[in-house]
Chains A and B, each alone.
Chain A
Amino acid sequence: MQRLSRLLVVLSMMVTLALAACTAPAAAPTGEQAPGEQASGEQAAGGVTMSFWTRDSNQEQVRKLVDAWNDSHADQIEITVIPGSDYMTKVGASVGAGAPPDLMAVDLIYVPQFAAADQLTDITDFAKALPYFDSLSPSHVRLATYDGKIYGLPFNAEGSFLIYNKGLFEQAGLDPENPPKTWGEIADAAAQISALGDGIYGYYFSGACAGCNAFTFLPYIWASGGDVLNEEGTAATLTDPEVAAALDFYRQMWADGLIPPGAQADTGTDFANAFTTNTIGMAGTGAFLINNLKTNFPDLDFGVTFLPGMEEGASSFAGGDSIAIPAGSKYPEQAFEFIKWMSSDEVQLTYYAQENSLPVRTDLAENEFFAKDPRLTTAAQAMAMGRTPYTVVYNQLFNDANGPWLKMIQTAVFDGKVDEAVTTAQEEFTKILSEQ
């Protein structure tokens, strides 16, 4: 009897272990698998299978791209799509566990952080050997450069610009083909459009969204010659007079009632809804919205133009993902083959431009597909002249909904305390940067 019981204990432990062993692999690949995955299971003639992680925001385009690669190459790619908000945590955990993907696409602002933590493969020599290296999105390359070495290349590109509703421009007696080119002209146009009444407002921004305002508000400062960080990203320069001036430009429009009251509470979810209901004259946005509007709101007549400076000039926030090879990648050479392939002329035109996505190369900003829709050319040109803050604490400085960047904008615009807002933000930026 006693022996039987002991046997039972052993048996139950074995069952538990076996169960654990069974469930582990099934649980491992979270996210969805590409439709082309079946093909990779067959281990096509001598090729390897690389794992590739990407975030969910542009998964449709990425899937098409990867399918095309899998159909034409012996080395296969298996994609795992991870929700954008979990991306860093998930990658951090996998790196910590010593099992990073072979290839990953990551928001370009995080590349300095990865590089600083020594988590990426140095691809300087490969990258510089590319014939079109000099025309790759300058912002992507700048952010992927750490200590003079290159750790990533652009995977997809995004640039911010001003979108405006041509219908409302006409109604308000403005020329829809001649959009504003200074802050003053924006404010004037916003005033004329707001005068239409009936719930129509001239300007919009998501007042409770930190990241959105890095994307759409920073260019106003840059275009006027100011900046929020020094060149090395080591010190805050919010005391530049252009920062206070840009905040005051927003504050005045808010005070004049040219921005809908709901904007103050919008965490970024309400923006597209506001613009597509034909009640917003102008707003800052990115190329992603062009594709969305063309697909879902074909009747909406909109134009795009650069985000202007105070008196002249224009700028843009260059965003998007970089593609990098994690330090623990099993197939770095094959992975680089993919990077080379995806940035080639043919792929950039067929799987980017034709799909309403911006090419990652400035020499392809003008192409046959964008020729049919000059708005995309404008977006691509915005991206080409775009800038991006270079810092290893981007999240904490700009993206944090409870951080100094959003607090500065809210205090200045909604509470009307521009100077106080700038002083506080300068202190908080400096504190965060000094902790590094």
Chain B
Amino acid sequence: MTTVPAAIAKPPRRRSTLNRQRSIAGFLFVLPAVLFTLAMFIFPLLMTAWMSLHDWPLLGQATFLGIQNYVEMARDKQFWASLWFTTQYTLLVTPAIFILAFALALLVNTALRGIGVFRTIYFIPVVIGLGASSLLWVWLLNDRVGIINGLLLDLGLIERPIIWFVDKNLALGVIIVSVVWKTVGFSMILLLAGMQAIPDELYQAAMVDGANYRQRLTHIMMPLLRSTFALALVLSVIGSYLSFDQFYIMTRGGPQNQTITAVYWIFNNSFTYYKMGYGAALSIILLIILGALSILQLRILRDDVTY
């Protein structure tokens, strides 16, 4: 922002004014986004980092601890158990969502009349809040009034109602089903958009060369969907690692605390035990883990295919 010396010739000077104008205009355009990010993300993040260095009770004065909260974490068995459980859950739910979303995207990727109706049907659960959908599933799965047990009984598949949430594996299973139902539409839409961005000529050329459907799928569509996969995968993994609502509502972390996710444990420390500082430290660690995971996934799926 230094002023331009008068000695300099006219043309470059004009260019420089133009540049400056442009940069100011650019600055103004990004200003709202920058302010928003500062207020809603950077500041809270710094605040969280600051809190994580304290013993920060809900009521009363905070005391500085340095890195003691982080040291504490190493001995916190439940935190590591929760992290491992969250990883298991992510490893199970992500492929389930992906395979189904890919199949659905293939199915609805046609120009048939009325296909919009099906796309809408698959997408509708996405717009339901996760809290609401979890409660919905709690009642669907209820042993006395739930429709799922009712159906299974009527079909003669079971003799007495199944109490889903008293067994870790059953509980995890039905939660995965409910989450897949809830989120598969979103991944489907992402993949569908990726599929539709692939020019038709490529398929036509391949057909001329005698490529069959499977070959077109594996040699044209899949490689060209790489960046879409990367996006959908990163979103899905982050979403799974941050899962909380469905477990809080459906299992309450039970049976015997076997379904406590990482965020659930952060919530418990912050809002049940009122150890806000420790909760903040756990959040920072989870943030670092997720950041690293996302970078890793984007590296692996880096898009170097062009057409």
Taking Cβ atoms with an 8 Å cutoff, the residues of A that contact B are 1-2, 5, 8-9, 12, 16, 88-89, 92, 95-96, 113-114, 117-119, 199, 208, 260-262, 264-265, 267, 269-270, 273-274, 277, 279, 395-396, 399-403, 407, 410-411, 414
* Total number of B residues with any Cβ neighbor in A under 8 Å: 37
CA distance A16 to B35 in the complex (A): 9
A9 contacts B28, CB within 8 Å?
A: yes
Which residue of chain A lies nearest to B59 when distances are taken between CB atoms in the complex? A117
Chain A's closest residue to B271 (CB) is A89
**A-chain residues with CB within 8 Å of residue B255 when the two chains form the complex:** 208, 265, 410
- Known: A1-B17, A1-B21, A402-B260. Is A262-B143 also a contact (CB below 8 A)? yes
**Do residues B253 and A261 form an inter-chain contact, with CB atoms below 8 A?**
no
Pairs A-B, 7 closest by C-beta atoms:
A92-B58, A117-B59, A262-B143, A117-B60, A265-B165, A401-B252, A5-B24
Residues of A within 8 A of B103 (CB): none
Residues on the B chain within 8 Å of A411, using CB = 256
Closest to A270 in B: B142
Please tell me if the beta carbons of B256 and A12 are within 8 angstroms of each other in the complex. no
Distance between Cα atoms of A47 and B35 in the complex (Å): 42
Q: Does B31 contact A (CB under 8 A)?
A: yes
Report the minimal beta-carbon distance from A260 to chain B, rounded to whole angstroms.
8
Closest to A277 in B: B144
Contacts of A89 in B (CB 8 A): 58, 271
Are B274 and A88 in contact, with the CB atoms below 8 A?
Answer: yes
Residue of A nearest to B265 (CB): A402
Closest chain A residue to B39 by CB distance? Answer: A20
- Judged by a CB distance under 8 angstroms, whether B63 is at the interface is no
Q: Which residues of B contact A92 (CB under 8 A)?
A: 58-59, 274
Query: Closest Cβ of chain A: how far from B93's Cβ, in Å?
Result: 21
CB distance from B271 to the nearest CB of A (A): 6
In the complex, B223 has a CB within 8 A of chain A: no
CB distance from A23 to the nearest CB of B (A): 12
User: How far, in whole Å, are A410 and B273 apart by their CA atoms in the complex?
Assistant: 21
**A208 B252 Cβ-Cβ under 8 A:** yes
Nearest B residue to A92, CB-CB: B58
Q: Does B138 contact A (CB under 8 A)?
A: yes
- Residue pairs across A and B with CB atoms within 8 Å: the count is 95
Contact A269 B138 (CB under 8 A): yes
A199: chain B residues within 8 A (beta carbon):
144
The chain B residue sitting closest to A114, CB to CB, is B59
Kindly report which residue of chain A lies nearest to residue B145, judged by CB atoms. Answer: A273
Could you name 27 residue pairs across A and B whose Cβ atoms are closer than 8 Å? A2-B21, A8-B24, A9-B28, A12-B31, A16-B35, A88-B271, A88-B274, A89-B58, A114-B59, A118-B60, A208-B254, A260-B143, A262-B143, A262-B161, A264-B166, A265-B164, A265-B166, A277-B144, A395-B273, A396-B273, A400-B272, A401-B252, A402-B254, A402-B260, A402-B268, A403-B272, A411-B256
Would A261 and B143 count as touching, CB distance under 8 A? yes
Measured between beta carbons, the chain B residues less than 8 angstroms from A279 are: 144
Query: What residues of A have a CB within 8 angstroms of the CB of B60 in the complex?
Result: 117-119
Known: A1-B17, A113-B59, A395-B274. A407 touches B256 (CB 8 A): yes
Taking the closest CB of chain A, its distance from the CB of B83, in whole angstroms, is 15
Flag whether B194 is at the interface (Cβ < 8 A).
no
Mask, B51-77, CB within 8 Å of A = 1, is 000000111100000000000000000
Closest to B164 in A: A265
B285 at the interface (CB under 8 A from A): no
Please report which residues of chain B, range 159-213, place their CB below 8 angstroms from some CB of chain A when the two chains form the complex.
Answer: 160-161, 163-166
Query: Is B302 at the interface (CB under 8 A from chain A)?
Result: no
Q: Which residues on the B side are within 8 Å of A274 (C-beta)?
A: 144
Q: Is the CB of A401 within 8 A of B145?
A: no
B257 within 8 A of A: yes
Given A395-B274, A414-B166, output 18 extra A-B contacts at Cβ < 8 Å.
A2-B17, A5-B24, A12-B28, A16-B35, A89-B58, A95-B59, A199-B144, A265-B165, A265-B255, A267-B252, A269-B138, A279-B144, A395-B273, A400-B272, A402-B253, A402-B254, A403-B272, A410-B254
Tell me if B20 is interfacial: C-beta within 8 Å of chain A: yes
Given A5-B21, A88-B274, A262-B144; A402-B163 close (CB under 8 Å): no
Q: Are A401 and B28 in contact (CB under 8 A)?
A: no
Map CB proximity to A onto B239-256 as digits: 1 under 8 Å, 0 otherwise: 000000000000011111
A34 CB to closest chain B CB, in angstroms?
Answer: 27
Of B143, B165, B252, which is within 8 A of A402 by CB? B252
A119 x B256 contact (CB < 8 A): no
> Are B268 and A265 within 8 A (Cβ)?
no
Bound complex: CA of A75 vs CA of B148, how far in Å?
56
Contacts of A5 in B (CB 8 A): 20-21, 24-25
**A residues in contact with B17, CB < 8 Å:** 1-2
Chain A residues with CB under 8 A of B274: 88, 92, 395
CA distance A2 to B17 in the complex (A): 8
Looking across the interface, which residue of chain B has its beta carbon closest to that of A20?
A: B39
* B59 CB contacts on chain A under 8 angstroms: 92, 95-96, 113-114, 117, 119
Is there an interface contact between A261 and B163, defined as CB atoms closer than 8 Å? yes
Report chain A residues within 8 Å CB of B138. 269
> CA A396 – CA B278 in complex, angstroms?
15
Distance A96 CA – B54 CA, assembled complex (angstroms): 15
What is the CA–CA distance of A261 and B60 in the complex, to the nearest angstrom?
Answer: 44
A113 to B273, CA, bound (A): 12
- B31: nearest chain-A partner, CB-CB: A12
Could you tell me the distance in whole angstroms from the C-beta of B279 to the nearest C-beta in chain A?
11
Say yes or no: A117 contacts B57, CB within 8 Å: yes
Whether A88 and B144, one on each chain, are in contact in the complex, defined by CB atoms closer than 8 angstroms, is no
With both chains docked as a complex, state the minimum distance between the C-beta of A409 and any C-beta of chain B, in angstroms.
Answer: 12
Residues from chain B with a CB closer than 8 A to the CB of A96 are 59
Instruction: Give the Cβ gap from B50 to chain A, nearest Cβ, in Å.
Output: 14
- Nearest Cβ distance between residue A89 and chain B, in whole angstroms? 6
Contacts of A277 in B (CB 8 A): 144
Min Cβ gap B6→A in Å is: 15
Indicate which residue in B25, B142, B260, B272 contacts A262 across the interface (CB closer than 8 Å).
B142
List chain B residues, Cβ under 8 A from A114: 59
> From residue B64, how far is it (CB to closest CB) to chain A in Å?
16
- B258-275 interface code vs A (CB 8 A; 1 in, 0 out): 001000000010011110
Rounded to whole Å, the gap between the CB of B254 and the closest CB of chain A is 6
A265–B17 CA distance with the chains assembled, in angstroms:
70
| Contact present for A208 and B24 (CB under 8 Å) | no
A252 to B54, CA, bound (A): 47
- List of B residues within 8 angstroms of A410 by Cβ: 254-256
Residues from chain A with a CB closer than 8 A to the CB of B256 are: 407, 410-411
Residues on the B chain within 8 Å of A12, using CB: 28, 31
A395-B166 Cα distance, complex, nearest whole Å: 23
